[in-house]
Chains A and B, each alone.
Chain A
Amino acid sequence: MEQAETAQLKAELSKHGIFTTTLEDIYNWGRKNSVWPLTFGLACCAIEMIATTMARYDLARFGAEVFRASPRQADLIIVSGTVTKKMAPQVVRLYNQMPEPKYVIAMGACAISGGPFRDGYNVLRGIDRYIPVDVHIPGCPPRPEALIDAFMTLQKKISEQHLAGEKRPRHLDAELPSEFPVPAYGEHGLEPSENAEVWNPLKIIQ
C-alpha cells in the first residue's frame, strides 16, 4: 500500500476511535523516549549540559535523565566542549565502546569546528572528522534550551528511521561498521587527520 494511502486510512480509522500503528512506529517510539546519554563532559559546554539535566530545564521530560557512567549502557554521546588532540582518541574509543544504536550530539562551537580555539596547535577542528555526528548545535556555549532542541531533533530523527530497506539506519545494516578507527597522537598532531568515510565537508568550487 502506498504511504499516503496508509496515512489516509490511519486518519480515517482514528476518526472512528480506532488507533492503528506499525511495529516500526512502536519500536522508534520506545527508542526515542529512552535515549540514555553518556556521562561525559569536556569543557564549559558540559556545565550547560549538567544544567539541562537539572530541575530547571529537566531533560528527564524526554526520557534522558539517566546519564550512564559506562559507555556500555549509553545510547548517546554529547561531545560537550573543546576536543583537544590529546582527548580525541579517547572520545572515539568511548564512542566505539557504546552498543548500537548510538548517536552523537556535537555541542557547541568547539565540538563542531574547534570554535574560538580553532587555530590552537592542539585543538581538533570538529569531532565529525572521526565519528558520525547526528546533530550539531552552535553556540559558545549553547543554552540548555539549545541542547533540548538538539535532543528533540535527535528524537525526530530516531522516530523517522526505518526498520528495513535501503534507508535503514546504520545499526540495522550489517555492512556498516560500528567501530571507527581511533586516531593516534603522532609527531604532527593526530594521524590520520580525519576519517574520510565519515567526514564529508562541503567542497568549495571556485
Chain B
Amino acid sequence: MVFTSNPWPPIVALLVGGFLFAIAPLGLAKVWAIKFSPAKPGIQKNATYECGLKSEGDAWVQFKASYYLYAIIFLIFDVEAIFLLPFAVAFTGLTVGACVAMLIFILLLLEGLVWACQKGVLTWD
C-alpha cells in the first residue's frame, strides 16, 4: 500500500496549493498595480459616504428613545386587536367567565395605556 507509509505529504501539498491559489491572484494584481496602474487616491474618492451629496454632520446621532415606547405600545394594541376580533365574533356564544376574563385582559392593557399617557409618551415634541 502506498498510503500506509506517510499520509501527510499530500495534505501538506494541498494546503500549500490552496494557499497559493488564494495568494497568487492578489499578488498578480499587486504586481500589475506597481508596474502599470498607479494608485490615485483623493479626498472624495476615499470618502466614507458614497453619494453625490456631501455628508452633513455626524453619523453618531442619538435617536429619541421615546419612539421606542411609542412603537411598543402600538405593537401591544396591534396584538390586542387580533384577540378582540375572534372575541367579537364568538361573543354571543361565550360564558360569563370568558367575558370577564376578556374584560380583565382589556382593562390591563388599558391601564398600561393610561400609564403611558400620563408619562407623556403619546405627546410628540
Q: Within the complex, which residue of A91, A173, A174, A179 is in contact with B42, where a contact is CB–CB below 8 Å?
A: A179
Complex interface: chain B residues within 8 A of A99 (CB) = 45
Min CB distance B34 to A, Å, is 12
Interface footprint category on A: 20 to 34
Q: Give the CA-CA distance A98 to B47 in the complex, in Å.
A: 11
**Cβ-based interface call for A94 (8 A):** yes
Contact in complex: B52, A178 (CB < 8 Å): no
B40, B44, B45, B54: the one within 8 Å of A171 (CB): B40
Chain A residues contacting B38 (CB-CB under 8 Å) are 172-174
- A177 neighbours in B (Cβ, 8 Å): 40, 42
Query: A169 to chain B: closest CB distance in Å?
Result: 10
Q: B124 within 8 Å of A by Cβ?
A: no
Pair B52/A179 contact, Cβ less than 8 Å: no
Give residues of chain B (47-61) contacting chain A, Cβ–Cβ below 8 Å. Answer: 47, 50-54
Kindly supply a per-residue 1/0 record for chain A positions 79-111, scoring 1 wherever the CB is within 8 Å of any chain B CB and 0 otherwise.
Answer: 000000000011101101111100000000000
Q: Count contacts between A and B, CB distance < 8 Å.
A: 44
Q: Which residues of B are found within 8 Å of A126, using beta-carbon distances?
A: none
Interface of B, secondary structure class, is loop
Are B36's CB and A163's CB within 8 A?
A: yes
CB neighbours of A91 from chain B (8 A): 52
A76 to chain B, nearest CB (A): 16
Residue in A93, A94, A97, A172 whose CB lies within 8 Å of B37 = A172
Q: Which of A70, A97, A163, A174 contacts B44 (CB 8 A)?
A: A97
Contact A100 B37 (CB under 8 A): yes
Closest 6 CB pairs of A and B: A90-B52, A174-B38, A178-B40, A179-B42, A96-B44, A94-B52
